[in-house]
Chains A and B, each alone.
Chain A
Amino acid sequence: MTAILEARGVTRSFGPIEVLHGVDFSLVPGEIHALIGENGAGKSTMMKILGGYLAPTTGALMLDGKQVSFADQRAAEAAGILMIHQEFNLALQLTVEENLFLGREKRRGPFLDGRAMREEARTLLARLDCHVDPRRRIQDLSVPNRQMVEIARALGRQARVLIMDEPTAVLTGRETDVLLEQIERLKAQGTAILYTSHKLDEIARIADRVTVLRDGTHITTRPAEGFTEHAMAEAMVGRELSDLFPAKAKPGADVVLEVEGLTVPGYVRDASFTLRRGEVLGFAGLVGAGRTELMEGIVGLRPAQGTVRVNGTPLKPGSVRAAREAGLVYLTEDRKDKGLLLGKALTENLTLLALDTFGGVFIDPQAEDQALDQAIEEFDIRVKDRKLLAGSLSGGNQQKLLMAKTMLAKPQIVIIDEPTRGIDIGTKQQIYEFIAALAAQGKSVIVVSSELPEVIGLSSRVCVMGRGHIAAELSGAEITEDAILRRAMGVSETTGEPA
């Protein structure tokens, strides 16, 4: 079958730097073509070129066999090419149907034709098996439902080509399943789909063809069948990958953190657990189980009742600063909105948490510079220019910067929420090593993660949360995906009945 959309020998330069070197890529109707690569490999640039957001510097774009150049993304949209961004392009205050028809509202005379729009919105959502009332506001929807609205919006615009930038990055396992089913359905209807994800198991599951990019170069395009996840990872990284997870350190005996009967109103009730020196404690559970809220309650970012003791001393509630001074820090899952000041330079981000250790009355800029040198070295933050803004770093480098920032506060206990969200496999491995190294140094780490292999691979003990309370605590050989999932969903082992 001939390609709908094809890129031939596409290069793209930003100023003097070429980031794509002659990449070929094609999309055939009714196929899912996965584009994979590490952060910074050029995936986003490639997608933006195909979606009309960027023009190629050299090389050609072919639409239905004819050379085209899109003036902008609207021109690409008019040709049936739609890109779904990682950060949604939805107006939060508007309703589902208003979003679906934004910019192409149906009218009757000078007035909006509300009934026709609602009707069509329903049809579109029904096609996706998504039962959301079109009159609800986007801000009241869950993330997966927003994703569905975003896809419905693309469908409503008669998309022939759908470009999906890591659509499952923020979804849980079950939500991912639903989404992948919808994608399969779109494929069956003849839509050509470009799919990116860092989760290689998804790629193996749904892709027909896989293209690997590394450092802006096209490495290979192969049928997905027979392309193992391990082989994909190695093609992305360009070297052989050893074990993803480092060896687990043996935790010490003394308890450094005791949480007793902690209740975060509306999210968590009566959570109790302990953490020992040098231990990596995993927190698993479905999205919405209250893991993040529990951690935020512990460090004082949310109002909470109950006691938190660090080294036996009760922590002043409601004060992030007191927690930090006690050696307890929390690394947020939301690095873009809560972790880093994207519009500020690296140093300002790096030292913000531990700013009072940099000089007395006046901030010591030299000490800050040294700290950045050290962070770049220690955490392998790859930057071309130290004066860059934090927002211009790739996700992996942002995460490393966030870790460096947190570690500057010299914590004894580190809570890391989703340590590798949206991060490529090479960087993931590095972050796992940092976490293991922290534990080996005698610090204690709590890892909250929705990726089960991560929780299992890192932790010596796992707390499973379900619906706002700690449903189970597993250790040693008990820690299996199956056991965690069953506990998280509230299914008891023996009877299979809801607990």
Chain B
Amino acid sequence: MTDTTVESDATPRRGALRLQTIGPVLALIALIILGASLNSNFLGYANVTNVLARSAFIGIIAIGMTFVITGGGIDLSVGSMAAFVAGVMIMTMNALIPVLGIGVPLVAAGMAVALLTGLAAGLLNGVLIAKVGIEAFIVTLGAMGVYRSLTTWLADGGTLSLNFDARSFYRPVYYDGLLGVPWPIIVFAVVAIVGEIAMRKTAYGRHCAALGANEQVARYSAVRVDAVRMSTYVLLGGLVGLATIMYVPRLGSASGSTGTLWELEAIAAVIIGGTVLKGGFGRVWGTVIGVLILSLIDNILNLASIVSPYLNGTIQGVIVILAVVLQRQGKSAD
């Protein structure tokens, strides 16, 4: 091995990395400028809070997904898990109304159930993947089908609706906020900041990256690989619960089609943000940018009538592929 060969190649590569890092930010800025020039309401308070609040669900999940992917895993079940959690939450709340009445205790109980259901679902994924040793893709693909079908079954093929009075009481959790900032945005921001710090500044984040980069090396370096791997899925499950808590008051119902394709949007946001799909490197703030890019595209298409909003998926898909091409180009330098 001639060290000099590779050493000198490292320089252009890092230059390319920098472009990769900044690429999504530039894309986001370009989208904002585009949006603002197409529609004068784009940067208005109503539109901005609307976009951000809607991004919050996917965003909170995508931050958990960042840890899973960084650790070398994947979770395809989050969308149907969200539907299932929402269904369980609504049914529990409806069932508890005679006991707790309409009020804070009812909502608190609903939230606790949502969080616990999410954590339990994540734990189940984590145990099957880390302890039993089944591939993450398979486990979560299976779980995706299971939760989707369970939700449909719970709803008996229709829709599970939260009791009307409970819904009215719970609504403010989505629509109100602090100093004009809706709660979902605040929660999203807090989760993002904590996630970013955890990823970059703590041993946990370092261990996730080490695990994703090379599980053997992590194991030989006294990292508890099974525990770390499992924890990423539990964390993601918990965040799915949290996202659902924000989501249920928006519509007050859940059905078999709730959260459809959320898993793909979350994974797409993570990848756009610069996290490496096969693990080893994760960037939480990049994921936030990725989520914003995806929701802005949707928003702009809805506001401006140049391109049909039906093409939303097409544009998002192209962007995901472009993001990966960008990542690849950074690598081909060596």
- The chain B residue sitting closest to A216, CB to CB, is B4
**Chain-A contact segment, one of B47-55, B174-182, B219-227:** B219-227
Residue A353 CB within 8 A of the other chain: yes
Assembly CA distance A39 to B222 (angstroms): 30
Contact partners of A19 in chain B: CB under 8 A = 2, 4-5, 8
Residue A375 CB within 8 A of the other chain: no
Assembly CA distance A394 to B213 (angstroms): 20
- Among B4, B6, B202, the residue within 8 A (CB) of A362 is B202
**Are the CB atoms of B4 and A352 closer together than 8 Å?**
no
Assembly CA distance A348 to B201 (angstroms): 12
**Are the CB atoms of B214 and A337 closer together than 8 Å?**
yes
Contact partners of A17 in chain B: CB under 8 A = 4, 7-8
Across the A-B interface, the 9 shortest Cβ-Cβ residue pairs: A14-B8, A394-B3, A44-B2, A392-B6, A19-B4, A362-B201, A320-B222, A352-B221, A338-B216
Residue A449 CB within 8 A of the other chain: no
CB distance from A211 to the nearest CB of B (A): 15
Within 8 A of A (CB), among B1-54: 1-12, 14
**Are the CB atoms of A321 and B222 closer together than 8 Å?**
yes
CB distance from B179 to the nearest CB of A (A): 29
**Are the CB atoms of B4 and A14 closer together than 8 Å?**
yes
CB distance from A27 to the nearest CB of B (A): 19
Within 8 A of B (CB), among A323-380: 323-324, 330, 332, 334, 337-344, 348, 352-353, 355-356, 361-363
CB distance from B108 to the nearest CB of A (A): 29
**A-B pairs with beta carbons under 8 Å apart, 28 shown:** A14-B5, A15-B11, A19-B8, A40-B4, A45-B4, A301-B220, A320-B220, A320-B222, A330-B220, A332-B220, A338-B217, A338-B219, A338-B220, A339-B220, A341-B217, A341-B280, A343-B213, A344-B213, A352-B210, A352-B221, A363-B202, A385-B10, A387-B10, A387-B14, A391-B6, A392-B3, A392-B9, A409-B222
**Are the CB atoms of B280 and A343 closer together than 8 Å?**
yes
Contact partners of A405 in chain B: CB under 8 A = 221
**Are the CB atoms of A395 and B1 closer together than 8 Å?**
yes
In addition to A341-B213, A387-B14, 7 A-B residue pairs with Cβ atoms within 8 Å of each other are A39-B2, A341-B217, A343-B280, A344-B209, A362-B202, A392-B7, A392-B9
- The chain B residue sitting closest to A396, CB to CB, is B3
Residue A76 CB within 8 A of the other chain: no
Residue B311 CB within 8 A of the other chain: no
Assembly CA distance A41 to B1 (angstroms): 9
**Are the CB atoms of A42 and B4 closer together than 8 Å?**
yes
Residue A204 CB within 8 A of the other chain: no
- Report if A40-B220 is in contact (Cβ < 8 Å); known contacts: A14-B9, A343-B280, A361-B202: no
Contact partners of B220 in chain A: CB under 8 A = 301, 320, 330, 332, 338-339
**Are the CB atoms of B6 and A384 closer together than 8 Å?**
no
Assembly CA distance A44 to B9 (angstroms): 15
Digitize B227-238: 1 where CB-to-A-CB distance is under 8 Å, 0 elsewhere: 000000000000
Interface size class of A (residues with CB under 8 A): 35 or more
- Report if A353-B221 is in contact (Cβ < 8 Å); known contacts: A392-B6, A393-B3: yes
- The chain B residue sitting closest to A213, CB to CB, is B2
**Are the CB atoms of A392 and B10 closer together than 8 Å?**
yes
Contact partners of A263 in chain B: CB under 8 A = none
Q: Is the interface of B mostly helix, strand, loop or mixed?
A: helix
CB distance from A355 to the nearest CB of B (A): 5
Digitize B119-137: 1 where CB-to-A-CB distance is under 8 Å, 0 elsewhere: 0000000000000000000
Assembly CA distance A389 to B9 (angstroms): 11
- Among B1, B11, B14, the residue within 8 A (CB) of A39 is B1
Residue B206 CB within 8 A of the other chain: yes
- The chain B residue sitting closest to A166, CB to CB, is B1
- Report if A43-B206 is in contact (Cβ < 8 Å); known contacts: A341-B213, A343-B213: no
- Report if A42-B2 is in contact (Cβ < 8 Å); known contacts: A321-B222, A332-B220, A363-B206: yes
Contact partners of B12 in chain A: CB under 8 A = 15
Interface size class of B (residues with CB under 8 A): 20 to 34
- Among B11, B206, B281, the residue within 8 A (CB) of A352 is B206
Within 8 A of B (CB), among A1-58: 14-17, 19, 39-45, 48, 54
CB distance from B228 to the nearest CB of A (A): 12
Assembly CA distance A301 to B203 (angstroms): 21
**Are the CB atoms of B206 and A355 closer together than 8 Å?**
yes
Residue A241 CB within 8 A of the other chain: no
Contact partners of B218 in chain A: CB under 8 A = 352
- The chain B residue sitting closest to A382, CB to CB, is B3
CB distance from A408 to the nearest CB of B (A): 11
**Are the CB atoms of B3 and A341 closer together than 8 Å?**
no
- Among B2, B8, B280, the residue within 8 A (CB) of A43 is B2
**Are the CB atoms of B213 and A301 closer together than 8 Å?**
no
Assembly CA distance A340 to B210 (angstroms): 10
Of A352, A356, A363, most B-chain CB atoms within 10 Å: A352
CB distance from A285 to the nearest CB of B (A): 21
Residue A191 CB within 8 A of the other chain: no
Contact partners of A112 in chain B: CB under 8 A = none
**Are the CB atoms of B3 and A301 closer together than 8 Å?**
no
CB distance from A357 to the nearest CB of B (A): 10
Contact partners of B201 in chain A: CB under 8 A = 362-363
Residue A388 CB within 8 A of the other chain: yes
Residue A397 CB within 8 A of the other chain: yes
Contact partners of A16 in chain B: CB under 8 A = 8
CB distance from A114 to the nearest CB of B (A): 32
CB distance from A54 to the nearest CB of B (A): 8
- The chain B residue sitting closest to A341, CB to CB, is B213
- The chain B residue sitting closest to A335, CB to CB, is B217
- The chain A residue sitting closest to B280, CB to CB, is A343
**Are the CB atoms of A40 and B3 closer together than 8 Å?**
yes
Assembly CA distance A405 to B219 (angstroms): 14
